[in-house]
Chain A
Amino acid sequence: MYQPRPVLSYPVLSVGQQPEQTKQYLFTKAHKLPTDEELTVEEVNLSSVTLTAAAFQYGKYCENYNNEFMLCRREEKDPRKCLDEGKLVTSCALEFFRKVKKSCSAELADYSYCLDKSSTNLDPSKCRRTQGVYDQCILDNLGIERPHFGYFSRAKVHHTERPRPPVLGVPEGGEFPNKPDGLPDDFPMSKPAYGNRRFM
């Protein structure tokens, strides 16, 4: 039986006809996007070499803020919801690098120069001597000991006050209302045909 096509509110293009404008699917006006003022903070204006050179002590110094931010980022899957945590991360990094600049500027500069020039992939095994001087300076002035080499590759347990976000499609509490009841333990079962019921 013939069904008339529903009337569309936008023009239907025939084959070969070009649309007047490129199709655009971006964010609607209903999306709450932060303004530029909310997004503009003082950034850490350092190169990747310096950041990599100072990474271990920086990660130890700002560990709590970093873990909080990364947990938020992974749980929420939404960059808009973790802006405050991100700002805390950046301000903590600025504080750390200001302290380093005050006390161990030359040591960090030497170490990062060595990292930059000794290999193509910032290999720290080429720069153990300058690294030792830098680590000792940080330990004396800031009191941060360099963590062992695999510290930041390990899984960490982080305690947070932030409530757990709801998962899309999963009801509150994680319990589905129409969950089937399991069989009772004393459910009468026939004798298994092939000896046991482990596989079949």
Chain B
Amino acid sequence: MAGVGYKQDMPPAGGYRPMDWKRVPGRSYLGGIASFAIFGVVTTGAWMLYYKGKRSIWGREIEQRSAKLAIEPLLTAERDRMYLKHVRKLRDEEEKLMADVPGWQVGKLYDEPIFKTVGDDFWWDPQMNEFYLHNDLQHFKKRSYIHWIL
């Protein structure tokens, strides 16, 4: 064997140390009961804080809603008067526009009424396109929130 020129690498004398194959568990700080207890305490506290904030938000919403409801009769009364003025204008406008059409009756298609089973003086709210019939089309679009599409 002499004259090879290198030395074969071999295990140390007495062999390698034994291999670490045993499971080394981490140190446990909390048991199962304590974990659940902490979870319960934290969750309960978080819910209480959440509910506290939610209550104050609800209170503010109710206050604003109350203010709006308090002035609603005033706004509705004013709106009703404007609305009826416009409805009368629409009827007058239709009468003027269709004066030359023979057989035309205002508020009907020739002699065909919309409703047949209710009385003559029955109130219904006109459809939106009817209400804006003699207006600028842009007003109708803006009121129905489609002015940004068309």
Would you give the shortest CB distance from B127 to chain A, in whole angstroms?
8
- The B contact surface, by secondary structure, is helix
Q: Of B81, B88, B103, B107, which is within 8 A of A10 by CB?
A: B103
A-binding segment of B1-9, B16-24, B30-38, B66-74 = B66-74
Q: Could you tell me if B118 and A168 are in contact, using CB atoms closer than 8 angstroms?
A: yes
A88-142 contacts to B, CB under 8 A, are: 89-90, 93, 121-125
- The yes or no answer to A31 lying at the interface (CB within 8 A) is yes
* Chain A residues whose C-beta falls within 8 Å of the C-beta of B66 in the assembled complex: 55-56, 149-153
Which of A85, A124, A152 lies at the interface centre, i.e. has the most chain B CB atoms within 10 A of its CB?
A: A152
A7-66 interface (Cβ within 8 A of B): 9-10, 20-36, 39-41, 43-44, 51-52, 55-56, 58-59, 62, 65-66
CA distance A125 to B85 in the complex (A): 39
B64–A24 touching, CB < 8 Å: no
Interface size class of B (residues with CB under 8 A): 35 or more
Contact among A69, A70, A124 with B64 in the assembled complex (CB-CB below 8 Å): A124
For residue A174, CB closer than 8 A to chain B, the reply is no
Report the minimal beta-carbon distance from A134 to chain B, rounded to whole angstroms. Answer: 13
Chain A residues with Cβ below 8 Å from B126 are 25-27
Residues of B within 8 A of A44 (CB): 74, 78
CA distance A184 to B8 in the complex (A): 112
Contact mask B13-52 → A, CB, 8 Å, 1/0? 0000000000000000000000000000000000000000
Question: Is the Cβ of A149 less than 8 Å from the Cβ of B62?
Answer: yes
Q: CA–CA, A23 to B107, complex, Å? A: 10
Q: A residues near B, CB below 8 A?
A: 9-10, 20-36, 39-41, 43-44, 51-52, 55-56, 58-59, 62, 65-66, 69-70, 73, 77-80, 82-83, 85-87, 89-90, 93, 121-125, 149-153, 168
Q: Does B120 contact A (CB under 8 A)?
A: yes
Partner pick for A149 among B59, B71, B118, CB 8 A cutoff: B59
Please state if B74 and A93 are interface contacts (CB–CB under 8 Å): yes
| Binary contact readout B97-135 vs A (1 if CB under 8 angstroms, 0 otherwise) | 110010101111111111000101101001000100100
Interface residues of B (CB under 8 A from A): 59-60, 62-78, 80-81, 83-85, 87-88, 90-91, 94, 97-98, 101, 103, 105-114, 118, 120-121, 123, 126, 130, 133
Smallest Cβ-Cβ distance to A82: which chain B residue? B80
A56 touches B80 (CB 8 A): no
Given contacts A36-B85, A66-B73, A79-B80, 20 further A-B contacts (CB under 8 A): A21-B97, A24-B130, A26-B87, A26-B94, A28-B108, A29-B91, A51-B71, A59-B70, A65-B73, A69-B77, A70-B76, A79-B83, A82-B80, A83-B81, A93-B74, A124-B60, A149-B59, A152-B66, A153-B69, A168-B118
